[in-house]
Amino acid sequence: MSEPSRGPLRHFTCVGSYERCQAACMEPDRYRTLLALPANKPVIAMGAGLSLAGAGFSSDALTVDMRHFNRILDLDQEGMTLHVEAGATLASLFSFLADRGLMIAVQPGHPGITIGGCIAGNIHGKNQYRIGTFADLVEEIQLFHPAHGILDLNRQRHADVFELTVGGCGLTGIILSARIRLHPEAGKSCHVRHTPVAGMQDAVQQMKGQQQHEDFMYSWHDVTPFGGSAGKGFLVSGRFEPGTHERNGWRNHRPLHHASPWPLPVFNGLSLPLINGIYRRLKQGYAGTEDLFTSLFPFAIMPSYFHAYGPRGFIEHQVLIPDAHIVDYLERFLALAHDFRQSFGMVSLKRFRGERKLLRYSGDGFSVGLHLPATPKAIRFLAQLDEIDTQFMGIANIIKDARLPASVVAAQFPEYVQFRERLATFDPGRIFTSMLSRRLAL
């Protein structure tokens, strides 16, 4: 009688605002409501709704908002595992685990992301090279599919569905809960250093030499006329330290609006070169100690960064280029950026290590991350960059790039067809669908 029904249409937008639509939504707070979903109607689960692509909504599907399924079910301190419902956010778990000297080792840039989102997107943190991706932390998943009921998945039981679910963008069903492997808390604070680099290729060489010794490392580059043709910038490296557990970042973090509330773009083609130049000069050479939360979630206390792109929003493009091609790739990338006079909000490098599998963003190489204002010129630039990515054996991050076409994903991922076929075998009706899955023809 008091069950939530399909509510009125709600407006959804990804972070970055590029993919958006109106869709029906329900926000169940009881298992019986969730488990009563029909087996013949399109549906998709949504965690915090902080995906950079339209992974949690589609105009023809019912979005199931999982925010109320956020409870901690079990903590095995000796075995260092946490069993938690999928709607729990990383921020809500951070303090609980820190009090017990534990942490989730792989953390994305924003703490509002849910455990279900981390699994479905197979997110990575700031030291994928040493820690791996979220897939490496997932021991068990409880998955609900209206046609299959509740399935307990792990690497032995329903192993095929487990593989499809981790990094599967929510297309196998609704993740109810998961058992996550924990690590001892690496420190109470983090000493962060910004080391100037002459360009992106210089950053690659330095990361190859230093990555093993740092708790996290990535680079930031000024790819504008002020940053020179090589993309001057700095390496950001951090080492966790013991000491007092300051929680200023945890206390001060603010939720992220999906769509920018700012009426005009502060970040645009004219302002970005200047802002990048000033930022580089201010930040290079910086060294200081930050609390652990702030160092893990740099975007948590500055949501205004995302809002500054204005109502038109931005696009994130991430591509993983094998070690053997990264130097040549960067040369082509910088030349293309120069030809287009393309402005970036952010250009960053991270080193990766691991196995390529299905549609996951993992493997050996360097991850090149870009934020661009979502202008028609940027779309043309990215279309050409897609070709260069493919030519250099790169794979794009499908969960982050809201305009990535199916043809590019099919060309870049050798197991694209296999993913589709295995998904269709598990779910012939293919009821789990999103804007992302439709765009990528999954």
Partner 1 sequence: MKALVIGASAGLGRALAQQLGASGHELFLVASDQQDLLPLERDLSLRHGVTVHSAAVDLADLDPDALRHQVLEKMPDLSALFYVAGCAYNQDNGPVPAGVADRLLKVNFTSGARIINAFLDHLDAQPRGLVVGIGAVAAVRARGDNMIYAAAKRGLEFYCAALRHRYNRRPLTVQFYRVGYMLTSMLGGSETPLPAAAPEKIAAHIVAHLEEDFGMRHLPGWWFWVCLVLKLLPWTIFKRLSLEAPGR
Nearer to partner 1 by Cβ, of 28 and 167: the residue is 28
CB 195 within 8 A of CB 206: yes
Q: Bridge-partner residues for 102, per DSSP?
A: 184
What the block records as the tokens of 406 is 């199916």
Q: Which residues bind to partner 1, rule: CB under 8 A?
A: 1-5, 7-8, 10, 25-33, 68, 71-75, 85, 96
What is the Rg, in whole angstroms, of the alpha carbon atoms belonging to the chain?
21
Q: In angstroms, what is the minimal distance from the CB of 29 to partner 1?
A: 4
Nearer to partner 1 by Cβ, of 56 and 354: the residue is 56
Q: In angstroms, what is the minimal distance from the CB of 423 to partner 1?
A: 28
Q: In angstroms, what is the minimal distance from the CB of 65 to partner 1?
A: 9
d(CA 60, CA 54) in angstroms, rounded, equals: 13
Nearer to partner 1 by Cβ, of 67 and 193: the residue is 67
In sequence order, which residues have a C-beta less than 8 Å from that of residue 435 and are 6 or more positions away?
Answer: 19, 21, 53, 54, 55, 57, 58, 59
Nearer to partner 1 by Cβ, of 69 and 416: the residue is 69
Nearer to partner 1 by Cβ, of 74 and 355: the residue is 74
Q: How many CB atoms lie within 10 A of CB 23?
A: 24
Pairing status of strand 62-65 against strand 43-46: parallel
Q: In angstroms, what is the minimal distance from the CB of 72 to partner 1?
A: 5
Q: In angstroms, what is the minimal distance from the CB of 153 to partner 1?
A: 19
Nearer to partner 1 by Cβ, of 71 and 213: the residue is 71
Q: In angstroms, what is the minimal distance from the CB of 114 to partner 1?
A: 15
In sequence order, which residues have a C-beta less than 8 Å from that of residue 367 and are 6 or more positions away?
Answer: 124, 128, 318, 319, 320, 321, 349, 350, 351, 352, 361, 397
d(CA 321, CA 366) in angstroms, rounded, equals: 5
Nearer to partner 1 by Cβ, of 2 and 156: the residue is 2
Rounded (to 5) percent helix, strand, coil in the chain? 30, 25, 45
Q: In angstroms, what is the minimal distance from the CB of 74 to partner 1?
A: 7
Q: In angstroms, what is the minimal distance from the CB of 30 to partner 1?
A: 5
Nearer to partner 1 by Cβ, of 100 and 281: the residue is 100
Which of 186, 244, 184 is CA-nearest to residue 216? 186
CB 293 within 8 A of CB 193: no
d(CA 167, CA 162) in angstroms, rounded, equals: 10
